[in-house]
C-alpha cells in the first residue's frame, strides 16, 4: 500500500526522487512477514488477522496543504470529507467494510478551533453513511501548512480481500460510475477561486452540471457497497480504487498481477456533465477520463464468463458498472483502442488540484 504521489504544485521543480523505484526499494526493505500478515506494502490496504472469521484492513494517507488540497478552493468541511472518503475508498477497493478512522492533524500558526471542527464535521459526514467511527487521533503544530493524516481500519471475510494481484489474462475490466468528473470539478473549484484562466468558457455550463461536477470533486463517495458485493459473490479476481486516475491505477493493478491490458476508449463511462464540461473547454473527454484522478470509483476484473451475471446484478441493484477493456498477457503491455487503432496508454501522473491544460 505504499503509494508515492510525487505530484507537486505548479512551479515546483522536478524532484530527484524517482517514485516507483522508491516504492519498490522500500517494499524490499520492509519485506519481513509473519503468518498474521496476508498482504503488506503493494496494495490499497495491508491485510492482517482480524476478529474471528475476518481479516483486518489497515491503510494510512498523509494529505498536505498545497499538494492535495487548497484552502482557497475548498471549505474545511469539504477537505475533511475528501480526506476521509479517500481512505474509505481504499477499504472499499479491498471489498472491506470500513469500521474506524484515526485522524492526525498538524496545524499551522493561526489555525482555529472552528476550522478544526469544520474539518472533523466533514470527515464525520463522509463516515456516517458507512457507519464508520472516528476513534482516535493526534493534534500537533506544523511549521508548514495544514497536514492531515488519516488512518482507516476495516474488516473483510477471512482470506477474501480483493487484491490488485489476482487479475488473469482474458478477464473483463470494469469500472463503477463515471470517469473524469472530479478533474472537471477541480477546474470549477479553481475557477470559483479565480485560479482558472478559462472562466469565461466554463461559465456556459448549466448550474446543475456545475453542481454535479463540484460535488464529484469535493464530496466523493467511497464505493463500499459494490466492493462488499464483489466479495460476497466472489465474482472479482482483482480490484483497485481510482485515486491517481485510470491510466495510473490500471498500471498498478497490471504490475501487481503481472499482466497487460487493453482499454477500449469508446466504452469509457462519461457523465453528461463531464461531456458538457469537455465541450465547453475544448478538452477531450476521453483524455480526462484516462488522466483525471480522485474519482474514487472502483476498477475491478472478473472472469469473462461471469460478465452476464455481473451485468444482470448491476441492473437489479441500479449500479452503473461498465466494461472498459480486457486483461492481456504482460508482453502486450497496456494499450488503448480507439477509432484510430491501438496506441500505448500514455503515462500521466495526476496532479492534485492542478487544472487540466
* Residue 107: its H or E element: strand 97-108
For residues 150 and 102, is the Cβ–Cβ distance under 8 A?
yes
- Closest approach of Cβ 159 to its own copies, in Å? 14
- Closest approach of Cβ 290 to its own copies, in Å? 22
Pairing of strands 334-338, 341-344: antiparallel
**Strand partners for 212:** none
Q: Rank residues 64 and 189 by Cβ distance to its own copies and give the closer one.
A: 64
CA–CA distance, 262 with 47 (Å, rounded to integer): 29
**CA 185 to chain CA centroid, nearest Å:** 15
- Closest approach of Cβ 128 to its own copies, in Å? 9
CB atoms within 10 A of CB 97: 20
- Closest approach of Cβ 27 to its own copies, in Å? 10
Q: Rank residues 63 and 202 by Cβ distance to its own copies and give the closer one.
A: 63
User: CA dihedral in degrees (237, 295, 79, 162; nearest 10)?
Assistant: 0
Q: Rank residues 16 and 282 by Cβ distance to its own copies and give the closer one.
A: 16
- Closest approach of Cβ 46 to its own copies, in Å? 4
Q: Rank residues 145 and 170 by Cβ distance to its own copies and give the closer one.
A: 145
Q: Rank residues 106 and 291 by Cβ distance to its own copies and give the closer one.
A: 106
- Closest approach of Cβ 59 to its own copies, in Å? 6
DSSP 109-173: TT--HHHHHHHHHHHHHHHGGGT-EEEEEEEEEESSS-EEEEEEEEEEETT----TT---TTPEE
CA–CA distance, 129 with 124 (Å, rounded to integer): 9
Q: Rank residues 6 and 225 by Cβ distance to its own copies and give the closer one.
A: 6
Helix, strand or coil, per DSSP, at residue 304: helix
Q: Rank residues 90 and 191 by Cβ distance to its own copies and give the closer one.
A: 90
Q: Rank residues 15 and 331 by Cβ distance to its own copies and give the closer one.
A: 15
Q: Rank residues 31 and 266 by Cβ distance to its own copies and give the closer one.
A: 31
Helix, strand or coil, per DSSP, at residue 276: helix
For residues 44 and 1, is the Cβ–Cβ distance under 8 A?
yes
- Closest approach of Cβ 333 to its own copies, in Å? 26
For residues 324 and 264, is the Cβ–Cβ distance under 8 A?
yes
- Closest approach of Cβ 112 to its own copies, in Å? 6
Angle at 238 between CA 257 and CA 343, to 5 degrees: 60
**Cα atoms in the Cβ-side hemisphere of radius 13 Å centred on 90:** 29
- Closest approach of Cβ 89 to its own copies, in Å? 13
Amino acid at each position: 500500500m505504499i503509494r508515492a504521489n510525487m505530484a507537486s504544485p505548479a512551479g515546483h521543480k522536478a524532484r530527484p526522487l524517482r517514485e516507483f523505484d522508491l516504492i519498490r526499494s522500500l517494499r524490499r526493505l520492509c519485506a519481513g512477514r509473519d503468518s498474521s500478515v496476508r498482504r503488506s506494502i503493494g496494495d490499497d490496504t495491508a491485510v492482517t488477522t482480524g476478529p474471528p472469521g475476518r481479516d483486518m484492513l489497515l491503510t494510512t494517507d498523509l494529505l498536505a496543504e498545497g499538494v492535495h488540497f487548497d484552502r482557497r478552493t475548498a471549505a474545511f468541511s469539504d477537505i475533511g470529507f475528501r480526506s476521509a472518503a479517500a481512505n474509505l475508498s481504499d477499504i472499499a477497493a479491498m471489498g472491506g467494510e470500513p469500521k474506524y478512522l484515526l485522524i492526525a492533524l498538524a496545524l499551522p500558526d493561526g489555525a482555529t478551533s472552528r476550522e478544526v471542527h469544520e474539518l472533523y464535521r466533514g470527515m464525520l459526514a463522509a463516515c456516517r453513511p458507512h457507519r464508520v467511527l472516528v476513534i482516535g487521533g493526534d493534534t500537533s503544530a506544523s511549521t508548514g501548512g495544514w497536514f492531515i493524516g488519516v488512518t482507516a481500519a476495516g474488516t473483510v471475510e477471512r482470506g477474501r480481500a480483493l487484491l490488485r494481484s489476482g487479475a488473469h489474462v482474458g478477464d473483463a475490466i470494469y469500472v463503477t460510475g463515471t470517469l473524469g468528473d472530479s478533474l472537471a470539478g477541480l477546474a470549477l473549484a479553481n475557477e470559483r477561486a479565480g485560479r482558472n484562466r478559462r472562466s469565461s468558457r466554463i461559465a456556459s455550463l448549466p448550474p446543475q452540471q456545475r453542481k454535479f461536477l463540484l460535488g464529484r470533486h469535493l464530496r466523493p463517495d467511497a464505493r463500499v457497497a459494490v466492493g462488499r458485493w464483489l466479495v460476497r459473490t466472489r465474482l472479482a479476481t482483482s480490484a483497485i480504487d481510482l485515486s491517481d486516475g485510470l491510466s495510473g491505477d490500471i498500471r498498478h493493478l497490471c504490475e501487481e498481477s503481472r499482466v497487460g491490458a487493453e482499454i477500449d476508449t469508446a466504452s469509457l463511462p462519461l457523465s453528461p456533465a463531464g461531456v458538457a464540461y469537455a465541450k465547453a473547454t475544448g478538452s477531450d473527454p476521453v483524455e480526462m477520463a484516462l488522466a483525471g484522478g480522485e474519482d474514487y470509483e472502483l476498477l475491478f476484473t472478473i472472469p469473462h464468463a461471469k460478465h452476464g451475471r455481473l451485468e444482470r446484478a448491476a441492473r437489479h441493484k441500479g449500479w452503473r458498472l461498465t466494461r472498459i477493456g480486457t486483461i492481456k498477457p504482460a508482453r502486450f503491455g497496456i494499450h488503448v483502442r480507439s477509432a484510430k487503432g491501438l496506441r500505448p496508454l500514455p503515462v500521466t501522473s495526476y496532479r492534485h488540484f492542478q487544472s487540466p491544460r
